[in-house]
Amino acid sequence: MLDVHRLRLLRELDRLGTLAAVARALNYSPSAISQQLSLLETETGATLLEHVGRGVRLTAQARILVRHAEAILARMELAEAELAAAMTNVTGTLRVASFQSVLLALVPGALSGLAAAHAGLRVEITQVEARPAFAGLLAHEFDVVLGEDYPGLAQPRLPGVDEEDLIRDEMLCVVPASGPWSRPALTDLADAPFVFDPAGIVPGDWARQVCRTAGFEPDVRFVSGDLLLQIRLVETGHAVAFVPDLLWTGRDPSAVHLHPLPGRPRRRLYTGVRTGSADQPAIRAFRRALRDQVT
């Protein structure tokens, strides 16, 4: 009998590439992961790993097992979802990973709706970047991930993850209400100081790409993924930023001017869950509560 937990570890090794990465994602030691995979080799009677330098590589037999592991894990998720759906009340704990703008704009209202409709449901939310969030989803650290794709930089869909679109959110150029940087056209801001997310993550790379497409290299004087700090720097006249339109819902924009960017780019917001788990009542309720905030 194959152990499902060990199959999951093999699938994670195939996805993440190293024992150390699997250990970090699942909060184990690399030696514990290695020991469990050795037991899986004993269970199957097949050689699953071969040493390459200081690392390991999956054998052809291991990749066969990974394919079946994907199907087995998805069926287990589906069985759990159907079992939960047969129960009357939406209860338990739902673990959500999200990024800042959705946490600020949509999640509080969604939580209020859930509290009113499902008092027995506990929602735990962690602010985290997309890559570790999806690693945590597949490792069962989270149940739902709120994700985003930017024009031209869409991330490939991960095996084992089902996505559902939430909204297409326009990105705006935000400039101070007065002063030398209160200009409406992006091409007039080539000498302005910008505040962007760090380079190397999608929002930061996308923002820099927009400026380069407009014909100039941005003067990124401030680097922060904190959107509230970005807005404050614009409000006080120190910077220009690209901020999602969604963030201005219910917010007073009198200290800034909002202008469309060339081509009026929109980011795609979506929710991601493990394949087979979409019918979990808590997941359905959370997704519905989020949709209620954008309709």
Residue extent(s) of CATH 1.10.10.10 domains in the chain:
4-84
In angstroms, rounded to a whole number, what is the distance separating the alpha carbons of residues 223 and 197? 6
pLDDT at 86: 64
| Fold type of domain 91-295 | D-Maltodextrin-Binding Protein; domain 2 (3.40.190)
In angstroms, the Cα distances linking 97 to 71, 72, 102, 146 are 24, 25, 11, 6
Spatial distance between the Cα atoms of 185 and 170, rounded to a whole number of angstroms: 16
Q: How far is CA 46 from CA 51, 60, 64, 150, in A?
A: 15, 10, 11, 43
Class of CATH domain 4-84: mainly alpha
pLDDT at position 276 = 86
Q: What is the pLDDT of residue 10?
A: 83
Residue segments in the chain with a per-residue pLDDT below the cut of 70: 81-82, 84-88
What's 196-207 look like in SS3?
Answer: ECCCCCHHHHHH
- The residue among 272, 269, 268 whose CA lies nearest residue 151 is 268
CA neighbor of 269 nearest in space, from 241, 294, 288, 242 = 294
Cα 150 to Cα 4, 9, 40, 265, distances in angstroms: 36, 31, 40, 8
CATH 3.40.190.290 domain residues, the chain: 91-295
The whole-number pLDDT of residue 239 equals: 96
Could you give the CA distance from residue 160 to residue 182 in angstroms, rounded to a whole number? 46
